[in-house]
Amino acid sequence: MSVDIYQIRECNQCGLRYPFVDAGYKNSRCPACLGVTQLISEQPFIRGLTRIDCLQHPTLQKPIAGLLDNIRSALNVGAIFRTADGLGLKHLYLCGFTPTPENPEITKTGLGAQDSIPWSFHHNGVNLVKSIKMEGAAIIVVENKNEAISIEVFKPEDFRAATQVVLVVGNEITGVDPAVIDLADVCVKIPMYGKKSSFNVSNAFAIATYVVSSKFDGIID
């Protein structure tokens, strides 16, 4: 772990205030107007924190996984890998044309998490769900459907015997494959309070995974 210093700078011309990270403090011109900037303060910048440094809670021991059903954006996939790492997921199933970590775009949002989370690729998400259900998995689809129940009232007690819990999110345009929804044990939705009808898929995955994993505390060992 190394500790560096970053600067808070403010532009004398346009007033932009921003963090400036440069070991040599070169090119400290304003990124908006290229005006001269002044140093406001210096702050510690801690790099290379270990998991123990970052977390005060123990690593999740529950067998929770994610299934990405035909996600088209590699940036979304990278963000989901980072969420999976942060919440201690055990595996990500990448299905259909979902990009895999060989895609360099994933590194932009994954920031290395794609190297720490086990993953596997499967051509057919429906066949995969059938297979893991036979092995005792509980399938929870995250989809904004009328028949879905609110994630706020979802109760996990019916899944005590599950070997693992798999949260499924789907394509940014068409959503989760209807056949996967039909196979699911439950379909949950995240309530929307604004004008849009859905969250970005990586945001939805993060919200749902956090809520569901906390609800499963003490339910699945």
- One-letter amino acid identity for 28? S
Q: Give mean pLDDT, residues 15-23.
A: 84
The residues, ordered by sequence, that sit 6+ positions from 73 with a Cβ below 8 Å of its Cβ are 99, 172, 201
> Exposed, middle or buried by CB within 10 Å (0-12, 13-18, 19+), for 22?
exposed
Condensed to tens digits (0 to 9), the pLDDT of residues 94-110 reads: 999 999 888 887 887 75
Q: How confident is the model at residue 198 (pLDDT cuts 50, 70, 90)?
A: confident
> Exposed, middle or buried by CB within 10 Å (0-12, 13-18, 19+), for 169?
buried
**CATH says 52-215 is which class?**
alpha beta
Q: How confident is the model at residue 60 (pLDDT cuts 50, 70, 90)?
A: very low
Cβ atoms of 128 and 173 within 8 Å: the answer is no
How far is 169 from 173, CA to CA, in rounded Å?
A: 12
Tokens describing residue 101: 């970590």
Dihedral pair phi/psi, residue 139, rounded to 5°: -105, 120
Cβ-based neighbour number of residue 63 at 10 Å = 18
Going from N- to C-terminal start, the domains of the chain cover: 2-48, 52-215
pTM tops 0.75, yes or no: yes
Condensed to tens digits (0 to 9), the pLDDT of residues 161-182 reads: 788 899 999 999 889 999 999 9
